[in-house]
Structure 1
């Protein structure tokens, strides 16, 4: 296995791990939006069922971005592969920027709810948190798809015809 193939594999796996966390949020969204305040706050804030998403998930997120950026550099002379890889890397960065901009502030707000009263407009915070996670999942689906396509565009035609 060449270095670039190994790097692609690592990048794809890290992007998939990052997406898996976002997919959890996306798939839970319809049910969680039906939770009343008490249940939503207990599960999300008090019990913190997503605790490892902040530590383990952060490693997946950051390393997926870094490996995708490096992969973009490694395939810079491969036309279509480069553009698909670049789009995947950009989308991973976009999802992370979205998380920093819209989700991290909500996490900081939720931490206050452990000692302070929950605001009357708690659904505003919940909605931003839930819907931004859903949008991030969609962005990461497209990012992972772009990275996978970057490999597929290099699949030899002869091999493709025999399958």
Structure 2
């Protein structure tokens, strides 16, 4: 197996692992939006069931972006493969930036709720947190799809015999 094939495999796996955490949020969204205040805050803030998403998830997301960025460089002379790879890497990076802009500040706010009263506007925080995670998952789905397409466009077509 050539180096570039191994690198593509690593990139795809890291992007898929990162997406798997985001898919959790997306799939839970309909049910979680029905939770009352007490249940939603207990599960999300107090019990912090997503604790490892911040550590393991951060590693996977940054690693996926880095490997995809290096892959862009490795395929820079591969025609349309380059553009699909660039698009995939950019979408993974945009997903991370969107997390920093829309989700990280809410996580910081949630940390305050452990020692201060829950604000009456808690539902606005919940909505931003839930819908930003859903948007993040969609960005990663498209990003991973672009990375897969970047490989598919390079597969030679069989010649008719």
What is the TM-score when the length of structure 1 is the normalising length? Answer: 0.97
User: Which ranges of 4 or more aligned residues in structure 1 deviate by more than 3 Å?
Assistant: none
The CA distance in 2 between the partners of 1:4 and 1:81, in whole Å, is 13
- 1:63 and 2:54 are equivalent in the alignment: no
Cα deviation for residue 109 of structure 1 reads 0.1
Cα RMSD after superposing both structures:
1.2
Q: Which runs of 5+ in 1 are unaligned?
A: none
Cα deviation for residue 156 of structure 1 reads 1.1
Alignment partner, residue 38 of structure 2: 38
- SS of the aligned residue for 2:114 comes to coil
Cα deviation for residue 24 of structure 1 reads 0.2
Q: Deviations over 1:45-102 (max 9, x none)?
A: 0000000000000110000000000000000000110000000000000000000000
The CA distance in 2 between the partners of 1:59 and 1:156, in whole Å, is 34
- SS of the aligned residue for 2:158 comes to helix
- SS of the aligned residue for 2:119 comes to coil
The CA distance in 2 between the partners of 1:45 and 1:28, in whole Å, is 16
Alignment partner, residue 131 of structure 1: 131
Q: Deviations over 1:128-147 (max 9, x none)?
A: 00000000000000000000
- SS of the aligned residue for 1:158 comes to coil
The CA distance in 2 between the partners of 1:23 and 1:81, in whole Å, is 26
Q: Deviations over 1:84-127 (max 9, x none)?
A: 00000000000000000000000000000000000000000000
The count of corresponding residues between Structure 1 and Structure 2 is 161
Alignment partner, residue 110 of structure 1: 110
What is the TM-score when the length of structure 2 is the normalising length? Answer: 0.98
Q: Which runs of 5+ in 2 are unaligned?
A: none
Cα deviation for residue 44 of structure 1 reads 0.2
- 1:95 and 2:95 are equivalent in the alignment: yes
